[in-house]
Amino acid sequence: MRIDIISVLPQMFTGLIDCSILKRAQEKGLAEIVIHNLRDYTVDKHRKVDDYPFGGEAGMVMLIEPIDNAISHLKQQRIYDEVIYTSPDGEVFNQPMANQMSSYENIIILCGHYKGIDYRIREHLITKEVSIGDFVLTGGELAAAVMADAIVRLIPGAIGDEQSALSDSFQDNLLAPPVYTRPAEYKGWKVPEILLSGHQAKIDDWKLQQAMERTERLRPDLLDKKY
């Protein structure tokens, strides 16, 4: 899978997309994440990416032409499943969306900035608008990195133990059960006995019951969700 990210702050992605699982998935050839500097697609000598809004509101608006140039340039090279714009008014990103996108071949993520982007881009070039939650970020870069992380880790082979991506919190609308490792006792704080028992069926029952109890207590809204 290939993810092309268009941004005015490409340096923000350093360290976010080249560590850990994202790094390994790219090294294994499972994913390619390519960051494009929007200023490389500008048409004037000042490399301008924004301008004052018509109608006199406060704040700057991102220009159509560099964005159209960047998207057109990419579309000439391959077919994209989605051209996504990160925005607080988009559909809220969740695990089913990440699952679906992890099966795509190619996506573009355009990171919003300033007061927004010229609305004609949203009408004519964007196929999906995605928010990562009901709060306003300075720009869409962190949102794009969050999405790339959640999507790439789901590509088969990205995580060593494939089972572990499937047993994540949210995969079945349940929070994950607690996990423990050595030592079995620390300062008198004990690991639940059942986990040391070796009875796999009983352990699985315990995990499910813990997952349900934690979900009811911490995120009861998940139990009503029908994805």
**Burial category of 108 from C-beta neighbours within 10 Å (exposed 0-12, middle 13-18, buried 19 and up):** buried
Of 70, 128, 140, 136, nearest in space to 101 by CA? 128
- Of 135 and 189, the one with the shorter C-beta distance to ligand ADE is 135
Rounded to the nearest whole angstrom, what is the least distance from the CB of residue 129 to ligand ADE in the complex? 9
Answer yes or no whether residue 151 interacts with ligand ADE by CB under 6 A.
Answer: no
* β-strand pairing of 189-190 with 32-37: unpaired
Taking the mean position of all CA atoms in its chain, how far away is CA 159? 16
Size of the site for ligand ADE (CB under 6 A): 12
Strand partners, 185: 190
- Of 82 and 172, the one with the shorter C-beta distance to ligand ADE is 82
- Of 2 and 115, the one with the shorter C-beta distance to ligand ADE is 115
Rounded to the nearest whole angstrom, what is the least distance from the CB of residue 29 to ligand ADE in the complex? 29
Given a contact cutoff of 8 angstroms between Cβ atoms, the answer to whether 211 and 176 are in contact is yes
Q: Which of 66, 116, 140, 177 binds ligand ADE (CB under 6 A)?
A: 140
Total Cβ atoms within 10 A of residue 202: 12
Residues contacting residue 133 through CB under 8 Å, at least 6 positions apart: 92, 93
Of 41, 40, 66, 70, nearest in space to 51 by CA? 66
Binding mask 76-115 for ligand ADE (x = CB under 6 A): ----------xxx-----------------------x---
Of 219, 211, 224, 206, nearest in space to 176 by CA? 211
Answer yes or no whether residue 133 interacts with ligand ADE by CB under 6 A.
Answer: yes
- Of 31 and 145, the one with the shorter C-beta distance to ligand ADE is 145
Answer yes or no whether residue 143 interacts with ligand ADE by CB under 6 A.
Answer: yes
Answer yes or no whether residue 137 interacts with ligand ADE by CB under 6 A.
Answer: yes
| Piece of the chain touching ligand ADE by CB under 6 A; list 11-19, 133-141, 169-177, 187-195 | 133-141
Answer yes or no whether residue 132 interacts with ligand ADE by CB under 6 A.
Answer: yes
Q: Which chain residues interact with ligand ADE by CB under 6 A?
A: 86-88, 112, 131-133, 135-137, 140, 143
